[in-house]
Structure formats: structure tokens, C-alpha cells
């Protein structure tokens, strides 16, 4: 029986077609893209083609608005630091309490070392932004607003275009960490006010170690990595050509599979989620069920430890996670779920199941066949559950919440 992979928000399998596109650029087409001889020119043209493939997926107006990076974290860091350097007289940043560590860790560091003022805007119980608090946080001192397009743990989508317009009214730049959104939802940057957008290749069936930062034409930018003239002077260092080619190929495939992501994958996610809610009592769906990524289900099993659920799923050949892979191993509850004020009975029991176009109905059936037994067995050993159910075990409370 083949393993089931439901951890696609952490990373996706590199599509075989992407690998095939990359391979010649390790051996046959090995020239430096900056060289002016035939070897380099051919590679340079391939890099340009990959940039256009990504431009098409993002709906960017110009291919030169795409700056290749080593991944989403570098892109986030470059956007934030550039905004603070270019927005003279402004020394405040507005963000949310549920951002990825790639954003929050840097901002905490800048707060401590440079005296940056960071406004952390909260969310409600469904992970939706507190718009009153957001508006109140904006001021003439705001250099940048950085808000993720989609939350990596719950899949909740934020109204980034509207937020970008509000940021511009305050004279600030707007950046979005779209690492989880790109390839899963339709994006047309030409129709938005977004100034900068970060993405990562390995989240959309591309290779690891490659990402990009979209920088709208006309937005002032200061490079994070300084060196050569690569990327129009915006990111020094010899281009990671095979990975760039892979990202371009992955972007083209993502565009071709967008309809499948929004329909078939969403239907599989919904069937998985509904099956869990129907079969297992005291389960909570975390996030905005009306406005979220089509592939993501975050479900809390009350009175349990999510890590124990994951361990047992893994033994059954099913891969899932409790949240961001960047914080795995931490004993602290998810900062996202804490910000949503999840009930204490559910805070430690959340499991994220994230699907992709490579998942099937058989994968969903497999999870639904083994998960109820796992939860029953773990609750039978849980002092908190036994105390809550009067010592009757997992069958003591038949209601579903």
C-alpha cells in the first residue's frame, strides 16, 4: 500500500516534468548566464524564458519585475529590509500576529536591534484580520505593510488587494508573503496595488532552494545580496540556473493545473474534512472555512496532543503536520492558533492536512479508514479526555462539534 502524503504546505514533490526540464542545465547547458559567448547566451535565454513563465503565473506586467532568490525567506527579508531603506522618514511596519516566522523573526530582530516599531494586528477566531485594528495601525510613519496572502497553517486567505490600497493611502509600501497562495489560487498582479510579493518553488512542485520576489516597476529597491550585476543589480551572485529553469517549468504546470486545484483538489479536501467531522467527536475546523486555500484542512482533535496523532498517522503510512515545518519540534502551541484564541482543550491537538494535485480519492479513503481508530485509541489513554467523559472512553460522548 503506497504512502499517503498530506503535507504539501510544507513541501511538494518536484514534478518529474520539472526535473526533466532542469537536467540539461547541469551538464549540457552549463554556461554562466552572464557570459557573452554562445554557452552563456543560450543559458541566458533559458533564464529569460523561465522568468516569463513565472510572470504569466503571477499576472505581472513585465518579466523584469521578477527577481530570483534562494527561496521565500530570502524574498521576505529582501522586501522588508528594502522598504525600510527606501521609505525615508518612516520607521514603522504593520503586520499580523499569524505571519510566517520568515517575517516575524526578522521583524522581532529589527525591533530589538534597530528600534523598529512593529504593529502586530490580531485576528478573530476564524483567522480573519481585525480590520479596525489594521486601519488604526497605519500612520504617516508606516514604511511597509506586510501581510501574507494565505496562512500556511489554516489556509485562511487575506484581502491583500484591499489591504494594499489602504497601505498606499497611508503612503506606505505593501508586501505579501504569497508562498502558500502561488499556484493554488489565481493571481493577477496587474490588477492589484501590491508592490512586492514573495514565493517559493518547492511549494508548487518545483525544486527547493529557489524562489522569487516580485517588485512592481517603479518601486524603489535596495538589494539584500550585494555583489555582481545579476538580476539587474537587485540580487548579486551567479544564477542558480537549473533551479530557475525548474521554477519556470513548475509555474507553467501550476497555471495549467489551476482549475484542477480549485475544483478536484478542493472537493477531495472537503470530503476528507467532512468525513473526519462525521466520524470523530469533538473536532474543530480551524480557519475561515468560507475563504481559504482549496487544499488545506486544519483540524483540532480536542483533549489530544497533535504530535501523538501525527506519530500514529506516520506509522499508518500517512504524512501530515501540526503546522509550519519551520517550527517543527517545538513544544509550544502554534502561534497562529494561539492568536485565534483556540479553546485550551484543542490548542495542542491541531493537525494540518494539506493536499495537492497528486492526491487521489483513495488517499482520502485511506485516511478516513485509519484516523477514527487512532483518535479513539489515543483518547482512551488521555487523562483529560477520560476526565471530561466521566471515564467512559472515546465512546462516552457521541456528539460531534
SS3 (DSSP) at 379: helix
Integer Cα distance of 294 and 246 in angstroms: 24
| Predicted pLDDT of residue 188 | 98
284 closest CA partner among 230, 367, 341, 218: 341
User: Is the predicted pLDDT of residue 385 greater than 80, yes or no?
Assistant: yes
Which one of the listed residues 256, 325, 326, 387 is annotated catalytic? 326
C-alpha cell at 82: 528594502
| Predicted pLDDT of residue 40 | 87
Could you tell me the pTM of the whole model? 0.94
169-205 residue pLDDT tens: 999 999 999 999 999 999 999 999 999 999 999 999 9
238-288 residue pLDDT tens: 999 999 999 999 999 999 999 999 999 999 999 999 999 999 999 999 999
380 in Cβ contact with 393 (< 8 Å): yes
**Pairing mode, strands 211-215 and 196-200:** antiparallel
Q: Which CATH number fits domain 4-10+258-396: 2.60.40.1080, 1.20.140.10, 3.40.640.10, 3.90.1150.10?
A: 3.90.1150.10
Measured between its terminal Cα atoms, the distance across the chain in Å is 32
User: Is the predicted pLDDT of residue 78 greater than 60, yes or no?
Assistant: yes
353 closest CA partner among 291, 278, 265, 290: 265
In degrees, to the nearest 5, what angle opens at C-alpha 199 toward C-alphas 218 and 306?
145
| Predicted pLDDT of residue 325 | 53
Give the mean model confidence (pLDDT) for residues 380-387.
91
Q: How many CB atoms lie within 10 A of CB 324?
A: 20
Give the mean model confidence (pLDDT) for residues 311-328.
83
Q: How many CB atoms lie within 10 A of CB 369?
A: 12
SS3 (DSSP) at 304: coil
| Predicted pLDDT of residue 41 | 87
pLDDT over 90 percentage in the chain: 88
User: Is the predicted pLDDT of residue 336 greater than 60, yes or no?
Assistant: yes
User: Is the predicted pLDDT of residue 154 greater than 80, yes or no?
Assistant: yes
| Predicted pLDDT of residue 396 | 39
CA distances to 14, 335, 387 from 64, in Å: 25, 36, 61
80-99 residue pLDDT tens: 999 999 999 999 999 999 99
Annotated domain spans of the chain: 4-10+258-396, 16-256
58-75 residue pLDDT tens: 999 999 999 999 999 999
46 in Cβ contact with 239 (< 8 Å): no
Please indicate whether residue 326 is annotated as part of the active site.
yes
Integer Cα distance of 103 and 130 in angstroms: 19
Where does 65-220 have alpha helices with state H? 72-86, 101-114, 131-137, 160-169
393 contacts: CB under 8 Å, gap ≥ 6:
376, 379, 380, 386
User: Is the predicted pLDDT of residue 333 greater than 90, yes or no?
Assistant: no
95 contacts: CB under 8 Å, gap ≥ 6:
103, 104, 107, 118, 119, 120, 121, 145, 146, 147
| Predicted pLDDT of residue 35 | 83
User: Is the predicted pLDDT of residue 358 greater than 60, yes or no?
Assistant: yes
CA distances to 44, 123, 299, 368, 374 from 12, in Å: 27, 28, 21, 22, 26
Integer Cα distance of 277 and 350 in angstroms: 13
Residue the block writes with cell 482533535: 301
Give the CATH class of 16-256. alpha beta
Amino acid at each position: 500500500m503506497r504512502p499517503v502524503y498530506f503535507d504539501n504546505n510544507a513541501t511538494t514533490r518536484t514534478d518529474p516534468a520539472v526535473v526533466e526540464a532542469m537536467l540539461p542545465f547541469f551538464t549540457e547547458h552549463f554556461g554562466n548566464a552572464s557570459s557573452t559567448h554562445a554557452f552563456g547566451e543560450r543559458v541566458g535565454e533559458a533564464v529569460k524564458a523561465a522568468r516569463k513563465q513565472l510572470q504569466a503565473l503571477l499576472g505581472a506586467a513585465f518579466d523584469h519585475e521578477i527577481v530570483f532568490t534562494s527561496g521565500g525567506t530570502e524574498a521576505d527579508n529582501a522586501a522588508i529590509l528594502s522598504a525600510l531603506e527606501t521609505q525615508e522618514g518612516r520607521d514603522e511596519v504593520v503586520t499580523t500576529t499569524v505571519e510566517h516566522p520568515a517575517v516575524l523573526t526578522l521583524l522581532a530582530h529589527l525591533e530589538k536591534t534597530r528600534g523598529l516599531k512593529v504593529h502586530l494586528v490580531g485576528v478573530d477566531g476564524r483567522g480573519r484580520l481585525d480590520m479596525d485594528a489594521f486601519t488604526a495601525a497605519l500612520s504617516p510613519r508606516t514604511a511597509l505593510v506586510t501581510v501574507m496572502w494565505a496562512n500556511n497553517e489554516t489556509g485562511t486567505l487575506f484581502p491583500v488587494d484591499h489591504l494594499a490600497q489602504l497601505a498606499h493611502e497611508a503612503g506606505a509600501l505593501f508586501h505579501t508573503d504569497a508562498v502558500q497562495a502561488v499556484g493554488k489560487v489565481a493571481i493577477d498582479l496587474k490588477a492589484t496595488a501590491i508592490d512586492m510579493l514573495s514565493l517559493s518553488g518547492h511549494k508548487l512542485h518545483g525544486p527547493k532552494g529557489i524562489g522569487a520576489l516580485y517588485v512592481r516597476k517603479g518601486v524603489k529597491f535596495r538589494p539584500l545580496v550585494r555583489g555582481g550585476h545579476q538580476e539587474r543589480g537587485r540580487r548579486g551572485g551567479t544564477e542558480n540556473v537549473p533551479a530557475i529553469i525548474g521554477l519556470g517549468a513548475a509555474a507553467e504546470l501550476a497555471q495549467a493545473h489551476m482549475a484542477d486545484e480549485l475544483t478536484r483538489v478542493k472537493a477531495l479536501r472537503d470530503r476528507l474534512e467532512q468525513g473526519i467531522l462525521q466520524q470523530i467527536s469533538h473536532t474543530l475546523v480551524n480557519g475561515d472555512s468560507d475563504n481559504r486555500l482549496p487544499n488545506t484542512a486544519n483540524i483540532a482533535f480536542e483533549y489530544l496532543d497533535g504530535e501523538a496523532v501525527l506519530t500514529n498517522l506516520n506509522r499508518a503510512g500517512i504524512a501530515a503536520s501540526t503546522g509550519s515545518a519551520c517550527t517543527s519540534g517545538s513544544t509550544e502551541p502554534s502561534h497562529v492558533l494561539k492568536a485565534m484564541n483556540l479553546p485550551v482543550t484543542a490548542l495542542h491537538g491541531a493537525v494540518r492536512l494539506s493536499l495537492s494535485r497528486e492526491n487521489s480519492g483513495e488517499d482520502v479513503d485511506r485516511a478516513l479508514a485509519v484516523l477514527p481508530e487512532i483518535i479513539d485509541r489515543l483518547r482512551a489513554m488521555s487523562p483529560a479526555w477520560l476526565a471530561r467523559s466521566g471515564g467512559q472512553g472515546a465512546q462516552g460522548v457521541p456528539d460531534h462539534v
